[in-house]
Amino acid sequence: MSPPLSPHRPVALVTGAARRIGRAITLELAARGWDLVLHGRAGSLADAEATAAEARRHGAQAWLLAADLADEAACNALVPAAVAAAGRLDAVVNNASAFAYDSVASFGHAAMEHHWRANTAPAVLLARALHAHLAERGAANGAGCVVNLLDQKLANPNPDYFSYTLSKAALAEATVMLAQALAPRLRVCGVSPGVTLLSGPMDEAEFAAAHRLTPLQRSSTPEDIAGAVRFLLEAPAITGHTLLVDGGQHLLGQPRDVLFLAQQQLAAAAPKD
C-alpha cells in the first residue's frame, strides 16, 4: 500500500542523486522540507543509500530507485515507481548526465546517441510523466515543477565536448518547449552550472585554475547549484527560464573548454628551465 499523501511535505525525484551535485541537491531539499526519491544506476545504490540516510537525518523521508535512463521503458516507468513509493510526486530534478569528450573530427552517431539518450530524452519523458501524474491527481496549476541541469557553455559556446554540448543545447530548447506544452499545470526551468567539481581528465590544479577563470574569480559550488534548484522549485511565477550559476563565466568569450584554458594558464605560469 502506498503511504498517505502529505499536505505538508512535497516530494521531488532527483536523478543521479547518489553523488556530487545530485547529492547536494538532495540534501538541500531534505533540509528545506522536501521528501525525496533518489534515482541512481544499479552500481551507485550504495552511495545513494548513504545520501538517503543523511537526508533522513534532516527529517525527510527518502526512497531509492534504480533505472537506466537510456532505456526508454525504464525511464517511462520511473515516475510511476516514484509515485508508488512516496504516494505523490511534485517535482523532478534532471541531474543525471553523460559527459564524454569528442570533437568535430571524432563526432559520430554513437557519441551523439549516447549523450542524447542520457542528457536529453529522459528529461522530456520524465516531465511528461510528472505532468500526467499531476493531472491524474487533480493538482492545481503550477503545483509541479521540473528543473533541468544544463551548462553555462551554452551561453559561451566552444566546440570541445561536441556531442555533450549538442545534447545540452537540445535540452535547453526542450526546457522552453516543455514549459509551453505542459503549462499551466507544470513549470519547467533550468540551471546552468559553471565549473563546479572535478570532471573528466581534469586534475586538482587544473580545477582550481578553471574555477578562477570567471569575472568573480570563483565559479559555482554544489551548494550554489542546489540552492538555485530549490529556488526554482519554490518560485511559482517562474517557468521557461534558466538561471546561470557560474560566477559570470558565461560573460567571457572562451574559445576552448575551461580544462584546456586552465592547462594553458598553468603551463604559462610554470618556471622555465
C-alpha distance from residue 156 to each of 147, 159, 258 (Å):
21, 10, 11
Query: Is 6 a member of any domain?
Result: no
Between strands 62-66 and 144-149, the pairing is unpaired
Task: Determine the average pLDDT of the residues in 95-104.
Answer: 96
pLDDT at residue 258, as a whole number: 63
pLDDT at 206 (0 to 100): 75
Give domain status of residue 104, yes or no: yes
Confidence of residue 273 (pLDDT cuts 50, 70, 90): low
* Distance (Å, whole) CA 127 – CA 133: 10
Task: Band the pLDDT of 261: cuts 50, 70, 90.
Answer: low
Kindly state whether residue 168 falls inside one of the protein's structural domains.
yes
- The answer to whether 73 and 100 are in contact (CB under 8 A) is no
- Is the pLDDT at 7 greater than 60? The verdict is no
pLDDT higher than 70, residue 4: no
Cell triple for residue 228? 538555485
Please, which residues have CB within 8 angstroms of residue 84's CB and are 6 or more apart in sequence? 2
Residue burial 153-186, b: 16+ Cβ < 10 Å; e: rest = bbebebebbbbbbbbbbbbbebbbebbeebeebb
| Average pLDDT over the chain, rounded to an integer | 91
Considering the domain boundaries, does residue 146 fall inside one? yes
Instruction: Label residue 8 exposed, middle or buried (CB < 10 Å: 0-12, 13-18, 19+).
Output: exposed
Nearest-5° angle of CA 195, CA 17, CA 205?
25
- Residue 5's pLDDT is 41
Number of domains in the chain: 1
pLDDT at 241 over 80: yes
Q: What is the pLDDT of residue 204?
A: 83
> 256 with 160: CB under 8 angstroms?
yes
- pLDDT score at 139: 94
At 39 the pLDDT is 98
Q: For residue 101, what are the domain limits?
A: 11-197+218-250
6 pLDDT exceeds 60? no
Has residue 1 got a pLDDT over 50?
A: no
pLDDT over 70 percentage in the chain: 90
Burial zone of 195 (CB within 10 Å; 0-12 exposed, 13-18 middle, 19+ buried): buried
Model confidence over 138-157: pLDDT tens digits?
Answer: 999 999 999 999 999 999 89
- Residue 270 in any domain: the answer is no
Which backbone phi and psi does 121 adopt, to 5 degrees? -60, -40
Indicate whether 78 belongs to any domain.
Answer: yes
Q: Which residue has the higher pLDDT, 256 or 205?
A: 205
**Is-contact 168 220, C-beta < 8 A?**
no
- pTM for the full model? 0.90
Is the per-residue pLDDT at 210 higher than 70?
Answer: yes
| Whether 186 contacts 134, CB under 8 Å | yes
For position 39, which CATH number holds?
A: 3.40.50.720
| Segment 9-45, tens digit of pLDDT | 999 999 999 999 999 999 999 999 999 999 998 888 8
Helix, strand, coil distribution of the chain in percent, nearest 5: 50, 15, 40
DSSP annotation of 108 reads -
196 compared with 24, residue with greater pLDDT: 24
Q: Is residue 207 part of a domain?
A: no
Give the mean model confidence (pLDDT) for residues 89-115.
97
pLDDT digits (tens, 9 = 90+) for 176-188: 999 999 999 999 9
Looking at the domain assignment, is residue 271 inside a domain?
no
